[in-house]
Amino acid sequence: MAKLSPILKNHLEVAKPDDWVDVVLEVPETSPPARPITNHKEQFASVEQLFASSNKDVIQAIQDAGGQVLDKSWLSSAIKARIQVHGIDQLASLDRVQLIDLPRRLTRG
């Protein structure tokens, strides 16, 4: 499936359907609200709330597949989840999901 990263595809080739895997789902960027906001705390809270509401179907699909949302990041437009291998195709079928990958640590370039 085109939405799965090559690294995740390789991982899934040796995984069993009932194995659990942590994945990162990349979703479209959330645009900040059009109205002017006077402080950063209010702006961050507003964008965070918008990210959650824009991705409620993705979050619900993770839970419906028996998975668990581990983290959400509006800043990187990503949702980290733990899900069984057999549920990954269900998430990849969602229009809002652009890519599913394994989590990676950031390193200095």
Residue 1 lies inside a defined structural domain of this protein: no
Count: domains in the chain: 1
pLDDT at 32: 65
7 Cβ contact list (under 8 Å, min separation 6): 101, 102
Residue 92 main-chain phi, psi, to 5 deg: -65, -25
pLDDT at 37: 65
Residue 41 lies inside a defined structural domain of this protein: yes
Residue 108 lies inside a defined structural domain of this protein: no
Q: Write out the two tokens for 69.
A: 């949302």
Per-residue pLDDT of the chain (109 residues; tens, 9 = 90+): 689 999 999 999 999 999 999 999 999 987 766 666 677 787 778 888 889 999 999 999 999 999 999 999 988 999 999 999 999 999 999 999 999 999 988 777 7
pTM of the model: 0.88
Count of residues in the chain: 109
Residue 57 lies inside a defined structural domain of this protein: yes
Residue 106 lies inside a defined structural domain of this protein: no
Q: What's the domain range around 72?
A: 6-101
Residue 59 lies inside a defined structural domain of this protein: yes
pLDDT at 48: 87
pLDDT at 36: 67
Identity at 24, one-letter amino acid code: V
